[in-house]
Amino acid sequence: MKLAIVTSHPIQYYSPWFKYMSDYVDLHVFYMHQESKDEKLNGEFGISHDWDIDLLDGYKYIFLNNVSKNPSVNSFKGCDIPDIYIHIKEGKFDAVLVLGWYLKGFWQTILACKIYKTPIMVRGDSQLSSNLPIIKKIIKKFIYTMMLRVFDIILYVGKNNRKYLKYYGVNDDKIHFCPHFIDQNFFYVKSRNTNITLIRQNIGIDKDSYILLFVGKLIEKKRPLDILQAMNILTKQNIQVELILIGSGELENELKTYAEGNSKLKIHFLGFKNQTELPLYYSLADLLILPSDTGETWGLVVNESFATLTPAIVSDQVGCAPDLIDKGLTGDVFECCNPVDLAKKIKNFIKNFNSNSVESNIQGKNRVYSMEYATNNLIEAINSLKVKSYETKN
């Protein structure tokens, strides 16, 4: 089976999948863009960074010639890849998978597949928004319903994503489950090789404190300030919590100012941490908090946390909530933008926490939302295309 994947640029979540998948299919990855140092510096992390894992190891890949006048993965015209027509024509792929449709290069790929009669698949994590004006909803429904018909197979990552596809009229026989996941083994193994007691002492965490964790960019849509406000409520109720805050971004000074103005809060600003460092902090934490608003279409930090068997409390706007969070079993869900409700959910979880039950339920989630499960379902989807093609010819 020969599969092409066209995606924007090397991403830390996808590279382990490409490496794993290469053992099962003849995989060819096409990147539309290679980030410059300036792009990394001007990103939402607020600092220049390179991932400390090799994002190009273990699979076949090509960086396509991006002829855009302003190369970028953040604007539709930022990826212009006319070379893809030649690769699709000569590649004779059983299927081509695009990881999105928001860039010009994706639509060039789709058109090339239509011209050369190559099955085209897509995988994304979009979900419905309730904030659109009615006129915009009507226009969008008409356009998206037509647009999604170009795909032979659409892979959905979770329940909200499937609801989105059904809203836009995609037939059940085109929809295949290919869940969101991370490299669980990487996080689990590294998290087991840590001296929790020593790390707590080095950071300065009290031995009796309940440890909350935030991992992400310090930007508005992530709403990290909600955690500090919830901690303020808990502290006044004599509940001993401390926060490890991993990340950097434009809200860092505002968060530090709030912490200084509420001196009883115990917050550890640890800045940006790279991939190999993260498992340590997930294993140290008692509870991950993800308070994001509607911009969080999934929340892969929850998958990372689950890989170390650490539960999570997320807002009701986080895309993964219906899939990964079972109340009291793997975490809880609170009303977005409501620190009072967040404080209540943290307090309840601390009070009723049963480590054996929580870990068992998280392991159940990990078996489904895994690289292995996603790969098996992707291969089944490609095989279904072959069956359809055979039935059409006969």
Task: Write out pLDDT tens, residues 83-133.
Answer: 999 999 999 999 999 999 999 999 999 999 999 999 999 999 999 987 788
The 10s digit of each residue's pLDDT in 273-322 is 988 899 999 999 999 999 999 889 999 999 999 999 999 999 999 999 99
> 159 Cβ partners below 8 Å, 6+ apart?
322, 323
Distance CA(326)–CA(302), nearest Å, equals 13
Distance CA(366)–CA(343), nearest Å, equals 27
Strand duo 120-124 + 175-177: pairing: unpaired
pTM: 0.92
Distance CA(375)–CA(369), nearest Å, equals 11
The 10s digit of each residue's pLDDT in 231-275 is 999 999 999 999 999 999 999 999 999 999 998 999 999 999 988
8 A C-beta contact, residue 8 and residue 32: yes
Dihedral of alpha carbons 267, 268, 274, 278, sign: negative
What the block records as the tokens of 226 is 């909600």
> 131 Cβ partners below 8 Å, 6+ apart?
294
What are the structural domains, with CATH classification, of the chain?
Answer: 2-182+369-393 (3.40.50.2000), 184-368 (3.40.50.2000)
Q: Note the pLDDT of residue 198.
A: 86
